Amino acid sequence: MTDQNIFMAISAFLRSFLGPLLGNDLTDMVMYGAGLLGVIIFIFTNAVILVLMERKVAAFMQSRLGPNRVGPWGLLQTVADTLKLLVKEDYKPHKVDTWVWALGPALLFIPAIGAYAVIPFDYQAVPVDLNIGIFYFIAISSLSTLPFLMAGWGSNNKYSLIGGMRSVAQMISYEVPLIFSLIGVIMLVGSLQMSAIVEAQHRIWFVFLQPVAFVIYVIAATAETNRTPFDLVECEGEIIAGPFTEYSGMRWAMFFLAEYANLVAVSAIATTLFLGGWQPLPLPGALGDLMAFIPGWAWFAAKTYFMIFLFMWFRWTFPRFRVDQLMAFGWKVLIPLSLANILVTGVGIYLYRMAIGG
Amino acid sequence: MVNEWIYAGAFYGLAALTLLSAAGVVFLKDIVHSALLLAASFIGVAGIYVLLNADFLAAVQVLIYGGAVAILIAFGVMLTRRPHMKETNANNRWVVWGAFTAAFTFAICGWAIAFTQFKPIDATPAQVTAIDGIATQLLGDFVVPFEAAALLLTVALIGAIILAKGAKEA
């Protein structure tokens, strides 16, 4: 485990540069601003990569041609897409509820960015290491239902409204198993602090101790981000594009930026809670030393992208659920299963303590 | 010095957000707008909790109150059957009585605040690890009442579902 990493080096450099100029208080403020800017750049960079990656993965999964004309290997496809979105006409449909309609996509971005405040990107590289970290994440991500509903309601379109209503039903239902699946990990660690959760996986990743919770988390997170097979909010056969129907250009792009931001966030949380965060693969002997040589942020990025790839794999392999099946699956399968997981974890911890004579 | 300015600015900003959106909840005619402003008001209160270093309370406020507004809007939209949403918040005929009650309440509160002897207290900051205390209390000392309350709520939930579905189907 290295005590020094790239984030700390950058932060120390900035501080040494700004400190004499601005004094302590202002430097702290500027550092917070720099952290926020870093997170926003991180989100946009990821979104740019993911727009391309989604199509490449789709092409790979379904053996068809992905983007391959714009630039080498189609790498500039995202640039072309962005340009197209920026120059599109920004129309406003007749009789929309103007403020609600216009604020929807903008507000959707706040919980998406806010969620990144507690994600530990590397050793001691957490924007804000709250001692209620994971609880904060749950609270802030519960807010992302409202903008969807605002977009659906404000658009003055019945399909959009149905989409908005479905997003409320779906996101609220699947939030319960999502939270319950995290409780197993929290019980093992005894802390809600993200850095403590990562430290606790020094020996063994929680995906091996909590496999059921991991599966429940992945399913519920897919539903929370409204991605296939749970994308009933926008499924084109039934309700066109749901809440996004009446948006164009940049407003429409905000929805997709937020979707990708959320996708990265839930993947990062899965990495932190189940895959050991920035910790290297715990292998014995020289192989372990070799693994520890790779920097923490690289481990974190690799694991996060593995999770993103998993979510994309789901999207292009599984057929879509029906709306009643979706609700029944959430309430009748996932919630009892996650409750059982909590019970088994509790009994397991009790037995373990008895075994080691505590 | 700078920190105090920022703190004061944040407090007044959040207070303005909370109070203005609370006023909007009452005065707007459209029930969906009212509900959305209610969410803004709740989030403003959560921000004030953050300024007071009550992180846990703020997160609870956002999770429980902020999240629940979405359901409130869903019910509001489904249950109000008016052709125009602009008049879904019903008018109150008892404006005079309402104004009188509000003025009376305000007068009592003002009187209480004006005549209370506020004593300066020792400015010991609240415990940073308050959540540890909550955890041991809730899951250790008071685990049985906590579980009983949870069970009671589940029973009530199932009962509500059976009542809503109708006895014959259930």
Is residue B123 in a domain?
Answer: no
Amino acid found at A310:
L
State phi, psi for A129 to the nearest 5 degrees: -90, 70
B69 shares its domain with B140:
no
Q: Which of B50, B83, B116 is the last residue of a domain?
A: B83
Beta-carbon count within 10 A of B41 CB: 22
Is residue A1's pLDDT more than 50?
Answer: no
Is residue B166's pLDDT more than 80?
Answer: no
Q: What residue in B sits closest to A164 (Cα-Cα)?
A: B74
Question: Tens digits of per-residue pLDDT, B83-118?
Answer: 666 666 666 677 888 889 999 999 999 999 998 888
Is residue B92 in a domain?
Answer: no
Number of domains composing chain B: 2
Lowest mean pLDDT among A91-105, A213-227, B37-51: A91-105
Q: Which of B48, B64, B83 is the last residue of a domain?
A: B83
Chain A residues contacting B via beta carbons under 8 Å: 25-26, 29, 97, 100, 130-132, 135-136, 138-140, 142-143, 145-146, 149-150, 153, 161, 165, 168-169, 172, 175, 192
CA distance A215 to A335: 12
B76 shares its domain with B146:
no
pTM, two decimals, is 0.83
Q: What is the mean pLDDT of chain A?
A: 83
CA distance A216 to A181: 6
Is residue B74 in a domain?
Answer: yes
B1 shares its domain with B79:
yes
pLDDT number for residue A76: 84
pLDDT number for residue A5: 67
The parent domain of residue B14 ranges over: 1-83
Cβ–Cβ < 8 Å for B63, B86: no
Chain B residues contacting A via beta carbons under 8 Å: 1-3, 6, 30, 32-33, 36, 39, 43, 55-56, 59-60, 62-63, 66-67, 69-71, 73-74, 77, 128-129, 131
B4 shares its domain with B65:
yes
Is residue B104 in a domain?
Answer: no
Which residues contact residue A33 at a Cβ distance below 8 angstroms, ignoring those fewer than 6 apart?
none
Interface predicted TM-score of the whole assembly (ipTM), two decimals: 0.80
Which residue, A56, A51, A92, is CA-closest to A73?
A56
We report the CATH number of the domain holding residue B45 as 1.20.120.1200
Is residue B1 in a domain?
Answer: yes
B75 shares its domain with B153:
no
Is residue A240's pLDDT more than 80?
Answer: no
B5 shares its domain with B64:
yes
Per-residue confidence at B170, pLDDT binned at 50, 70, 90?
very low
Reported for B2-7, long-range contacts at CB under 8 A and 24+ positions apart, including other chains, are B2/A25, B2/A26, B2/A29, B3/A25, B6/A29, B7/B51
